[in-house]
Amino acid sequence: MAHHAPSAVSQRSGTAALLQAVSVVDSATVWVSGHDATYARTTDGGATWAAARVPGADSLEFRDVYAVNASIAYLLAAGPGARSRIYKTRDAGRSWTLQWTNPAARAFYDCMDFWDADHGMAVSDAVDGRIQIIATADGGTHWQLLSEQSLPAAQPGEGAFAASGTCLVARPPATAWIGTGSATIARVLRTTDRGRIWTSVPTPMPAGASAGVTSLSFRDDAHGVAAGGDIAQPLEHSTNVWFTTDGGTSWSPGAQPPFPGAIYGTAWVPNARQPTVVVVGPGGAAFSRDAGATWITLDTLGYWAAGFASTHAGWVVGPGGRITKLSGF
């Protein structure tokens, strides 16, 4: 069957901020977030975007966003100490509630995700040999640190990458995965009970102080992708995309995508004729229909994150307020 080339159409975001995360509710409603306390929202598939800043959030970097619907969304500010925060709106951004401020000076929260509107979690770099994960079961009214006993011990220096909000991904009803780096071994942590028990699997991803798994995406409980590389080597070509068919227990390499440097974001295209995954980074954007055996370039501009509603409605976001809509997969 012949495949038509997907289309990539630039959209006017209304901001010049670096956009680092995207949360797709459906083909009409999408939220994005980024630096300078910025977020933007569309309810017409990106024909128009409304961008704004969260009042009082000054220079915070919203490196993750989770949207429940057109009215309700969460923002995660990533940064050291009290610069890691979680905000929530229930009225499409007209007002924001500061739900949680990181109390640990050496913690740095990287990503969050939710199983549903009320149940979610966020992950920080390790502190004193302990991986820090907070969770909520009441829509963020309360956030609590998970028990140290439920988590594997951290490697020296281990953390996650606040690149695209996808170092932690949750899949309903109760499964989640976390990708790590900045240590000797890049790992994938997995829970099937919303964080009560975790398992740890070493991956073959290149690891080191500035390298590891930056992004995870799963199209079902078994089939997923882990992507990353060395964020300090923007011109390097390496094996930085790995695929699993068993929920993350084992990983097989894909071919190097056509653009150089680390991958920051990944996303599967729902209901594609063949399983199709998109990867993005500062070096460009590409997609594969064959578990990474071959790649096709989508764009040579830099992007941080990707998200999809369908084969005809996907978005990639990046520097300078860049939002590009992808369709035709």
70-116 per-position pLDDT tens digit: 999 999 999 999 999 999 999 999 999 999 999 999 999 999 999 99
Say whether pLDDT at 2 is over 80: no
Q: Which residues pair with 293 in a beta bridge?
A: none
Residue 271: per-residue pLDDT: 95
Say whether pLDDT at 1 is over 60: no
Q: State the average pLDDT over residues 245-271.
A: 97
**First CA to last CA distance, the chain:** 13
Calpha distance 3→289 (Å, rounded): 10
* pLDDT tier at 4, thresholds 50, 70, 90: confident
The closest of 159, 154, 153, 134 to 144, measured between CA atoms, is 134
154 to 35, 148, 185, 238: CA distances (angstroms): 29, 11, 11, 25
DSSP string computed for 64-95: EEEESSSS-EEEEE-SBGGG-EEEEESSTTSS
Calpha distance 49→33 (Å, rounded): 12
Yes or no: domain 7-327 corresponds to CATH 3.30.300.20: no
Q: What is the mean pLDDT of the chain?
A: 97
Residue 149: per-residue pLDDT: 85
| Percent of the chain at pLDDT exceeding 90 | 96
